[in-house]
Structure 1
């Protein structure tokens, strides 16, 4: 979160366009207390109407006490005298107040300097969290059910989890969890290029299970206004904040889904026992081959595996030419839990479907190990494979 010293309450809205999350303080004393209270604050913006001498005094103090903190001064008119006095006081940059693009660039440069001074690495290099994308090219196979239950189980098991709804036009994550978000992924568009931990925190909604959710926009038309680059930036930041990032997706290879694939450690590909779903899964695997996605980053799961519909699990394996890692049974308790807005792993933790979700999470997400094909359908698994949560040496 960026700290702002400005007496005008309306300044927050103006500066948010360039800086994302902003907290305003109207005095140097209040600003100093905020810096003392949070050692992760690295950026201070001083408004254009703050007295220059006071701004320089504050900057000199910060330079001694918190050298990693960057101070950027905004002025209605920038001249040589202002520049000289400001830079002598330790101000990193002086920016024209109405030039929001230059202000955003200055803030980005200041954060990079602060990270180096504080001994931090960049976001990509310090990444710790794992990103798991749940995908199927056919709708109605249970992607949202898988995503919400995996995320809820991880959250209740002590992990810090972000659930991202990438079905930006018709996402169901919020309604499936009976959440009423006031913000969405759409709110990140204005922060593009400088999304940080605080900016991300400002658009997520907390769920009672402990997970955070980045909801899809309420207006389907907003989906086309969200660039794929914003999704990539969201995920890069999220990996530095959360232990796990679970991504629910639409049944299509949109630019947002492709961005998720590029940033994912594991793809959970869902199939069901019907010809259209199997056909789409086969095409999806072929497409992933063309995209260069590593085969060992893909996990095929068969949902509603015990449905008596004339198609067997071994038929699916033959069609997709890939082993099934896990089978999840059919149960009316699943749609009932969705209607209640409570993930089944929380509502009925001992249910067979809940047990399958937990097995999927523990074996392949939290503690990846050898893939073992379930014996119910007597599928020939061939040689065992070890699934890895790393991609391309990342």
Structure 2
């Protein structure tokens, strides 16, 4: 249910017409009574006649007592200072009074996010100790075009397992990130919105998140490439630490560069997936990456080499690649035209076709190197009878 609060009954009814099913109250006192009696309320819309100072004080109080409740502020005029103050107070979104379509979308997103947050909130132990910290998995390649975003989005979807686990996908390609477009998301906020906040806690970060599917939430890159320079590595590290405390897994997509933000992610990562394709430039960059990480003293046991489009007929043998790199390849992901087609549809192939050879390879990587156990393919992703593994481990169709 959604509650709309506005001092003008006519405006409140107009907002309810945009939102759909909702209760209406015409004072903050009535709103407090509703919230005291309905502990499962998901979303509150504060209309344009609600005093902004009162709205901010209410939000600041609720961010502690009701962290799963999303507040949306409707204003006749929106400027940078208002947005910054709203974010600091813990308001999830600020919407123009005339943009009723955006208000409807914001309410739907907030409902999904609140539901996901309730599901992911594991109770503390009997002694009040916090729950276990989640794992951070960073996907990296020093060469563009190797499939970092494809692996990151599909790995995140695989780990989420349709709501079985809570996963946050973070786009750290701050200048040219593609996570939002690859998943066809229309985020209200990005990681850049955390910069003006004086005190960034999880409540502030959760207001920046955009839900995608059951169990999968995203923190997307800035829309403007110039915003990348304003996001310090210390803020990135702080946000990743907050996310790992509230999600089972945090998957980080990165740019093809060893910048400070990427190094901050490496510092916190439990697993670093180093991806390359079967061509000389990509393998040369991968070898340099391995040497650089060794010089920076990143633990070798955290590195995992992922070979994408590994069945390409280009005259390079897998064994020769491992010998050159002096490191084993953890997983070989086959090539498929279905992958770019799934990207164009905005649906990870791991969700669209869990039994596809690419999906099975990513699931095998997740099972062995992230979840920390032997592969355990769920019934809905069991290998179909017309697939078999060839001598190099790739799933292929049996000849008819």
Same fold at TM > 0.5: yes
The match for 1:187 among 190, 193, 197 is 193
- Map residues 197-212 of structure 1 onto 2, 5 A cutoff: 198-212=203-217
Q: Are the counterparts in 2 of residues 266 and 297 from structure 1 also a CA contact under 8 Å? A: yes
**Match for residue 331 of structure 2?**
326
Q: Are the counterparts in 1 of residues 272 and 303 from structure 2 also a CA contact under 8 Å? A: yes
Question: 2-side partners of 1:281 and 1:207: how far apart?
Answer: 31
**Match for residue 322 of structure 2?**
317
Which consecutive aligned stretches of 4+ in structure 1 deviate over 3 angstroms post-superposition? 25-39, 118-121, 374-378
1:120 and 1:252, CA in 2 relative to 1: closer, same or farther beyond 3 A? farther
- Map residues 332-343 of structure 1 onto 2, 5 A cutoff: 332-343=337-348
Asked if residue 150 in structure 1 is aligned to residue 155 in structure 2, the reply is yes
- Map residues 15-26 of structure 1 onto 2, 5 A cutoff: none
Asked if residue 355 in structure 1 is aligned to residue 364 in structure 2, the reply is no
Q: Are the counterparts in 2 of residues 188 and 195 from structure 1 also a CA contact under 8 Å? A: no
The match for 2:243 among 231, 238, 252 is 238
Give structure 1 stretches of 5+ with no counterpart. 1-6, 8-24, 40-46, 56-61, 63-67, 70-99, 105-117, 379-394
* Secondary structure of 2:258's aligned partner: coil
Question: 2-side partners of 1:35 and 1:261: how far apart?
Answer: 44
* Secondary structure of 1:207's aligned partner: strand
1:367 and 1:184, CA in 2 relative to 1: closer, same or farther beyond 3 A? same
- Give the C-alpha shift of residue 208 in structure 1: 3.0
Q: Are the counterparts in 2 of residues 149 and 357 from structure 1 also a CA contact under 8 Å? A: yes
Q: Are the counterparts in 2 of residues 134 and 246 from structure 1 also a CA contact under 8 Å? A: yes
Asked if residue 308 in structure 1 is aligned to residue 313 in structure 2, the reply is yes
* Secondary structure of 1:281's aligned partner: helix
* Secondary structure of 2:368's aligned partner: helix
Question: 1-side partners of 2:391 and 2:305: how far apart?
Answer: 16
**Match for residue 229 of structure 2?**
224
Question: 2-side partners of 1:375 and 1:261: how far apart?
Answer: 35
Structure having the higher Rg: 1
Q: Are the counterparts in 2 of residues 127 and 239 from structure 1 also a CA contact under 8 Å? A: no
CA RMSD of superposed structures (Å):
4.0
Asked if residue 284 in structure 1 is aligned to residue 276 in structure 2, the reply is no
Q: Deviations over 1:193-223 (max 9, x none)?
A: 4322x21211111113541110101000000
Question: 1-side partners of 2:311 and 2:165: how far apart?
Answer: 31
- Map residues 83-162 of structure 1 onto 2, 5 A cutoff: 126-157=131-162, 158-162=164-168
Q: Are the counterparts in 2 of residues 269 and 301 from structure 1 also a CA contact under 8 Å? A: yes
Question: 1-side partners of 2:287 and 2:370: how far apart?
Answer: 23
TM-score norm. by structure 1 comes to 0.65
Q: Deviations over 1:271-330 (max 9, x none)?
A: 211111111111111111122211101111111111111212122212211111111111
Q: Deviations over 1:221-261 (max 9, x none)?
A: 00001111111111111011111101011000111101111
1:281 and 1:375, CA in 2 relative to 1: closer, same or farther beyond 3 A? farther
1:260 and 1:375, CA in 2 relative to 1: closer, same or farther beyond 3 A? farther
Moved more, 225-234 or 313-322: 313-322
**Match for residue 165 of structure 1?**
171
Q: Are the counterparts in 2 of residues 227 and 256 from structure 1 also a CA contact under 8 Å? A: yes
The match for 2:299 among 286, 294, 299 is 294
* Secondary structure of 2:195's aligned partner: helix
Question: 1-side partners of 2:170 and 2:195: how far apart?
Answer: 15
- Give the C-alpha shift of residue 351 in structure 1: 1.2
Question: 2-side partners of 1:322 and 1:35: how far apart?
Answer: 59
Question: 1-side partners of 2:392 and 2:367: how far apart?
Answer: 22
TM-score norm. by structure 2 comes to 0.64
Asked if residue 250 in structure 1 is aligned to residue 255 in structure 2, the reply is yes
**Match for residue 183 of structure 2?**
177
Q: Are the counterparts in 2 of residues 278 and 319 from structure 1 also a CA contact under 8 Å? A: no
